[in-house]
Amino acid sequence: MLDNHYQIDKNVQQARRDLPRRFIRQLPLFKTPSQKYEGMPRIFALAWLYIAHTDSNFSLKTLSAIVQGFQAVEPLKIGELWALPSAVRYFLIENARRLAMRVDRARNMRNFANTVADRIVVAADSDELNSV
């Protein structure tokens, strides 16, 4: 990720340009009894669910299948279809950020565990010397 940070920055900027707040406010909202998606534009919920269910493995074939399935129930507006690529890009980046934070937290925990283990070994060695 560090090697490609410029690509991530470029995609974040593009998503911001393509999805201004004024435009997002005009998108139809997802209507569901679940509070998880309450107030979220439908296309964002669709993109988020797509990324979650494919484990961030993007393919045009699976995205097309999901969009067609959604549209079989309720057609998407032209603005939603226009926003879909940027919404998918946004959630891919968000998922990468979340995973990077998990990796960083695990690395920090491993380093802390190694430090504690080193202290235990040093303490055990000094106790052995004191008992002789």
Distance, CA of 10 to CA of 29 (rounded, Å): 28
Output the pLDDT for position 31.
78
Distance, CA of 111 to CA of 102 (rounded, Å): 14
Output the pLDDT for position 132.
45
Residue extents of the structural domains in the chain: 2-101
Q: Which of 62, 112, 114 is nearest to 88 (CA)?
A: 62
Output the pLDDT for position 1.
60
**pLDDT < 50: residue spans in the chain:** 132
Distance, CA of 29 to CA of 25 (rounded, Å): 9
- Which residue is it, tokens 């070994």? 121
Q: Which of 121, 90, 72 is nearest to 18 (CA)?
A: 90
Q: What is the pTM of this model?
A: 0.74
Q: Which residues pair with 93 in a beta bridge?
A: none
Phi, psi of 29 (to 5 degrees): -90, 155
**Contact by Cβ (8 Å): 15, 89:** yes
**Contact by Cβ (8 Å): 62, 46:** no
Output the pLDDT for position 77.
95
Tokens for 57?
Answer: 């493995």
